[in-house]
Structure 1
Amino acid sequence: MGVLPVPAGVRAILLDVEGTTTPIAFVQETLFPYIRDNVEQYLRAHWEEEECQRDVGLLRQQAQEDSGLDGAVPIPLESGSGDEELERVIRAVVDNVHWQMALDRKTTALKQLQGHMWRAAYATGLVKGEIFEDVVPAIRKWREAGMKVYIYSSGSVEAQKLLFGYSTEGDILELFDGHFDTKIGPKVESESYRRIAASIGCDTNNILFLTDVPREANAAEEADTTASLAAFLPKLS
């Protein structure tokens, strides 16, 4: 692999996750299938819990907003008690989650439920976050050079912290100065990078954003953020 030096003037590194710090295969072949295969079981086990009900409520709200979309799956309110009514609502939630995932949607409602499911999987050792072998050495070099390192992913902040907290490299959360997800804005919109810069107290032109998605890189550059497309992490020369 070649060496791509960090441009002069960069004070903060902003990292994408999927395809940048973590193999795409891990997300596509481990994390997402875990949700599809276990969402019904998870809902049944946690249905009465407040957190689960908040997740369902957010999914129901999203379903209402999606009502005009082709194939959208509504989530009804429970109109009574009994196993049959519960079965009807859980089935609707499962079908809605599967529909959103089939379209690779990145709604906050879906990401929140996924994050909570992954939390349980990581904590029990069913899942470990995969990290490219050059990630930790590169981040350590950046930090030694006085740069701060942040994550910006479409996955929720909670999901990010789980991946790096229960990773194949151990708990590496201490290497990051902060985390951002789509609550600050979509990754394909330039305004999101301006908000991140304001949040961390840094000019956009002092940030280097690393991603494997051209549209994200273009949006960052529109905000005067330096962006680099990389299948691996560039290292300090």
Structure 2
Amino acid sequence: MSLAGLTYDVDAVVLDIEGTTSATGFVVDVLYPYSRSRFGALLAERGGDPEVARAVAQVRELTDDPEADAVAVEKTLNAWLDEDRKATPLKTLQGIIWSEGFARGDLVSHFYDDVVPRLRAWHTAGVRLYVYSSGSVAAQRAWFTNSPEGDLTSLVSGLYDTENAGPKQEPESYRRIADATGIGPARLLFLSDRPGELDAARATGWHAVGIRRPGEPYYEQGVGDHAQAGTFDEITITTSGSST
């Protein structure tokens, strides 16, 4: 990092979503109730779908209740939702519901005003962009496809979640992402509002910047000893001799 400010010479930026690119309040106040109201129907009507069945099996395993029926599974999902638990089967089922909600036009995602222009500028400059969120890959794809500014998926080179990468506060997850992208850790920058995630990325040799936006859950707590920015506009990326 340059002493002059938040300037990084990297090849790629990896983005958290909640609290970083987008308001946590939108997820909690809009998306969570939307999924809660549809868990029961999804489990009852499509329990035989492979992805739903796999998620149900994971719920039974995590609760040590191999005989849990759809009612019990729904109760667990709602309890995890209340706890904001980053459980993979919860995120999988939410992703299915949200993807369909976005496709129907029931939902449109949220991005902070500074985010999309900066992502477009970085992409144009040759910086590769990835997403690493606790939300499922399906939910991430729907989020970027159905933004207020249209389909943004062309900006993103890859999507990672707790299933294909691992838990967000474990360094091994960041090693998996670096290996999958083929980019060395020292050439990767992770942006997140959660200090535990920033710690894990840095422990793997990544650059990490904490995003602190007023009103977000981690704003008061801060980001520990990590560099921090209030908006993406405060971050400059240099790569191949250019900067943006």
TM value normalised by structure 1: 0.83
Higher alpha-carbon Rg: 1
Quick one: which of 127, 130, 134 aligns to 1:154?
A: 134
Indicate the structure with greater strand content: 2
Aligned to 1:233: 232
Aligned to 1:42: 42
Aligned to 1:6: 7
3-state SS in 1 of match to 2:67: coil
Q: Aligned letter for 1:143? A: H
Does the alignment pair 1:172 with 2:173?
A: no
User: What are the ranges of 5 or more consecutive residues in structure 2 without an aligned counterpart?
Assistant: 214-230, 237-243
Alignment: residue pair count: 214
Aligned to 1:52: 52
Aligned to 2:25: 25
Distance 1:228 1:51 in 2: 34
Cα deviation, 1:175-203, whole Å, max 9, x if unaligned, reads 00111111212111122212211111111
Instruction: Tell me the CA shift for residue 5 of structure 1.
Output: 4.2
Does the alignment pair 1:216 with 2:217?
A: no
Aligned to 2:96: 116
- Report 1 or 2 for greater relative contact order, CA contacts < 8 Å, sequence distance ≥ 6: 1
Cα deviation, 1:47-73, whole Å, max 9, x if unaligned, reads 454543333233223322xxxxxxxxx
TM value normalised by structure 2: 0.80
User: What are the ranges of 5 or more consecutive residues in structure 1 without an aligned counterpart?
Assistant: 65-73, 78-88
Instruction: Tell me the CA shift for residue 218 of structure 1.
Output: 1.3
Indicate the structure with greater helix content: 1
Q: Aligned letter for 1:28? A: V
Distance 2:159 2:51 in 1: 22
Distance 1:53 1:191 in 2: 28
Cα 1:127–1:75 change in 2 (3 A) is: farther
Question: RMSD over aligned Cα, in angstroms?
Answer: 2.0
Aligned to 1:191: 172
- Percent of aligned pairs with the same residue? 37
Cα 1:131–1:122 change in 2 (3 A) is: same
